[in-house]
Each structure stands twice: as structure tokens, then as C-alpha cells.
Copies of this chain bind each other. A is one copy, B any other.
């Protein structure tokens, strides 16, 4: 095996898993943090920020893009990356719902 059985779970569960998985690598966390830090789009220089080779970074960017967390648009011979507002907010919403629904139930066990 090695293939996830997505069929048996809800769309919500699968989407949350996809987004979380996209963040599930330190390089991709670093990319997102950097995109937030510099405020605007990044047109280049992401590779210089990471301790990884260019093809590897490109692959991580592709995965973030597939998950919907970032967008990329071509600008001359550079590419412009930025966080995808919509997905990011949805991600925030779903996670916040989980977090708060846990905090509300102050279970006294264990």
C-alpha cells in the first residue's frame, strides 16, 4: 500500500488533511513564513532563503500550489508567488473551529 484511503472520509476531513500535509514540512513552513514576512509577492529569491537546491524548492512550491495555499503568476522571466487569501482563510477557519470547540469542552480526564 502507501496510498491514502480518501474515499472513506468526508470532504472536509480530506481538505483539512491536504492543507495540513502541505504545511507538514519545515521547508514549506519556511516558505510560508517568508511569504508572510516580506508582505508582497516574492518574485525570485526564495531559493536563496532556503538550504535546499533549486529543483527541491521548486517541488515544494508546487506542492503548496497544489494544496491551494499559494498562487504563482509569471512575470517576465521571474515567477511571482504569494499566499492564496481564500484558501488561507478557509484553513484558518476550519482549524480555529477545531481549536475552540476543544477549548469549550474543558474535559477533566486523564
Interface of A toward B, CB cutoff 8 Å: 4-6, 8-9, 13-14, 16-18, 20-30, 32-33, 36, 39-41, 50-52, 71, 73, 80, 82-83, 88, 92, 95-96, 98-99, 101-102, 105, 107, 109-110
Contacts and interface: CB of A to CB of B under 8 A. Distances in A.
Given A9-B26, A9-B30, A13-B30, 13 more contacts: A13-B29, A17-B23, A17-B28, A17-B29, A21-B23, A21-B25, A23-B24, A32-B98, A39-B105, A40-B107, A41-B107, A41-B110, A82-B107
A66 B16 CA distance: 20
B26 A98 contact: no
Number of copies: 2
A63 to B, nearest CB: 11
